Amino acid sequence: MNNVTLNNKTIVKSFEDILKSLSEKERNVIERRVWINSDKETLQNIGNSFSPAITRERVRQIEDSGIKKIGRIIKATLLTEIQNFSIDFIKLHGWVVSKNRLINNVIKELKIEWDVNHSIIEMIIQSDFEIKKSKQKLGCQIYFYLPSIQKNDIENIYKEALKILKKKKDVITKSTLFENILSNINKDVPITFIDSSIELFDDIVYWEENLVWLTKWKILNPKTLKDKAIYVMKKEKTPMHFVEISNKITQMLEEKVKVNTIHNELIRNNEFVLIWRWIYALKEWWFNPGTVLDVISSILEKNWEPMSTEEITKEVLKIRNVKQTTIYMNLQNKKAIERVGRNYYQLKK
């Protein structure tokens, strides 16, 4: 197990092997909930497909039973690395982290291809007995948390932040807000817990890592489409599909924009980086702009000396989530790259 690398193929293969240990009903439900061999389906659709039909709640019970079994089996597989990283990451961020932020960091830090099935990653995390997952709630992101905290504590932090912001009626620094919350709740909790809890809610805005205000105040009031896209992506703190960016602009800034228009804006501005099919990140985040060939060329230019395929691959994967075959194919571009010796490359002179 220790010699196997975590990647898209090995994750799906290991997960499918685990599903073989489930009952037929459990396997059927789990596969349809995580897009294996089909599109992701709702509990209602799955329930209606049974003969006779079963309720949404019964489907949920079958799913939960399957997830518990997965949690017991997974500890003997390479997938436990995903769970171990998740627990450490949640602890580091105050015992609670939004679902999207955790999954994105699993992919980034464990060097998994960006097109991995995110629903499988989510279920691997969810199956760990040390991790709990919240339910969908309007105005709040789904999040993972550790059993050492209560959901009521998260809600109380949020309510206290709202009360302070509404009373001040103006922008406040994070440090001031956190100090006020701590003095009001009469409970000793880490600052990281307060920070992560507030970040889950849509009606509170964090900006430039220091300022806080209510979304409805529209203090920043971005004018251009580019600024609006940057605004929502900084709020979400995660790479996003261009359709999702468009929807968030409509939701958060109450301005309807055409999907194609926002996509064109993302393509033509170098503040955004295309990291996978129609998925964009901000340049200031984890990724360098440009094609994979551009990234390889930049690495070779800085190194001055020829580099092996393994060395180049390692450096590319630090800044771009791409398949290793994609890197190898770009190394075969004879107009920009030349091979020198066995598996060594340099920029073409």
Give tens-digit pLDDT for 179-224.
Answer: 999 999 878 899 999 999 999 998 898 876 788 988 888 777 788 8
Residue spans of the domains in the chain: they are: 8-133, 155-217, 225-282, 292-347
Burial label for 272, CB within 10 Å (0-12, 13-18, 19+), is buried
Angle of helix 191-199 relative to helix 151-168, nearest 10 degrees, comes to 80
pTM passes above 0.75: no
Helices (H), 169-224: 174-185, 191-199
What is the rounded CA–CA span in Å between residue 263 and residue 245?
9
E-strand ranges in the chain read: 96-98, 132-133, 143-145, 172-173, 204-207, 211-214, 240-241, 272-276, 279-282, 307-308, 337-339, 344-347
Q: Mention the CATH class of domain 292-347.
A: mainly alpha
Q: What is the pLDDT along the chain (349 residues), one digit of tens a residue?
A: 455 678 888 999 999 999 999 999 999 999 999 877 556 788 999 999 998 999 999 999 999 999 999 999 999 999 999 999 999 999 999 999 999 899 988 988 888 877 788 899 999 999 999 999 999 898 899 999 999 898 999 999 999 999 999 999 999 999 999 999 999 987 889 999 999 999 999 889 887 678 898 888 877 778 889 989 998 888 777 888 899 899 888 887 878 888 889 988 998 888 888 877 678 888 877 665 566 788 788 888 887 789 999 889 888 876 666 677 878 888 988 888 999 888 899 998 7
Q: Which of 194, 188, 193 lies closest to 176 in space, CA to CA? A: 194
Burial label for 325, CB within 10 Å (0-12, 13-18, 19+), is exposed
